[in-house]
Amino acid sequence: MNLITSALISMIIAIAAVFNIPFDEVQLAFEKGNASKVMEFGKSKVLISIEDDEGVYSRSQGTQVLKKFFKQYPPSTFSYDFKGKEDGASSFGIGNYQSLKQRFRVSIKFEKKGSSHVIESLEISRIK
């Protein structure tokens, strides 16, 4: 009986992991200034707004846009102020990105695609 219970708990944890929103992975990517990793979690087209310069970019274009941002503002820390619900059709997170020069507010909207969540939009704005 304990074996069955353990197996069921393991299955539930594995299934829950599939549906989790990749908040931690995106946080780590921002902390490292890894534009490619951030965009791995993006839709095929992602709305990116950095300091009111807005566009809809493919993953490869979005990677270049974020690389330019990370080069101009190298990462120091990233932490979330708010994480939305972990399930459902969409969710979002709001965080603070601290570079060596400046602090930014980062808003990330996730959308459920199949069994995973992907970044639909990303907004980065300077905190004055």
pLDDT in tens, 23-70: 999 999 999 999 999 999 999 999 999 998 999 999 999 999 999 999
Give the pLDDT band (50/70/90) at residue 3: low
> For residues 96 and 83, is the Cβ–Cβ distance under 8 A?
no
Tokens of 62: 């979005």
Domain residue ranges in the chain: 21-126
Q: Are 93 and 83 in contact (CB under 8 A)?
A: yes
42-74 CB burial, b ≥16 within 10 A, e <16? bbeebbbebeeeeeebebeebbebbbebbeebe
The whole-model pTM stands at 0.81
Record: fold of 21-126: Nuclear Transport Factor 2; Chain: A, (3.10.450)
Structure tokens at 34: 């890894």
**Do residues 46 and 57 make contact, with C-beta atoms less than 8 angstroms apart?**
yes
